[in-house]
Amino acid sequence: MPAARPTQASSPGVRKSMQSNKSRDTKPELALRRAAHALGLRYKVSARPLPTIRRTADMLFTRAKVAVFMDGCFWHGCPEHHTRSATNAAYWAEKVRRNRERDRETDQLLAEKGWLVIRIWEHEEPARAAARVAEQVRARRH
């Protein structure tokens, strides 16, 4: 049974923190994009790989059919850095579980349509991650 969604933040500080979370252009995303651009890669930002599926990739290489997702350690349950929430723990555990489930579904849906999905954790070193992306993009270009 899903945890009940809290109707309000547990404190004013939590509310302010949650309101400041950005859905795009986060520091890790910008660092990855800068590193990829420095390697000569050109890409779309925050774009849907498939218009019929409501999923947005952080970086999209349409010719090579490569979709890059930058996953936050908290939001996507990083095995190295994920921490459990001290308040509303059941809600947040369920939220992360659903995010991970949706990530797997997204990977499968895109793979079925010929896309390569690359998932990068926010803690990964940007230059290394960009090199991994560049290698795959260049290998898949026609």
Q: Residue 69's beta-bridge partner residues?
A: 119
Whether this model's pTM surpasses 0.85: no
Per-residue pLDDT tens digits of the chain, which is 142 residues long: 566 665 565 566 655 555 556 567 899 999 999 999 999 999 999 999 999 999 999 999 999 999 999 999 888 889 888 778 778 889 889 999 999 999 999 999 999 999 999 999 999 999 999 999 999 999 998 6
Give the pairing of strands 57-61 and 66-71. antiparallel
- Phi-psi category of residue 88: left, alpha or beta, with phi > 0 → left and psi -120 to 50 → alpha: left
Q: β-strands 57-61, 116-121: how paired?
A: unpaired
Tell me the C-alpha to C-alpha distance, in Å, between residue 95 and each of 2, 114, 132, 133.
9, 29, 29, 28
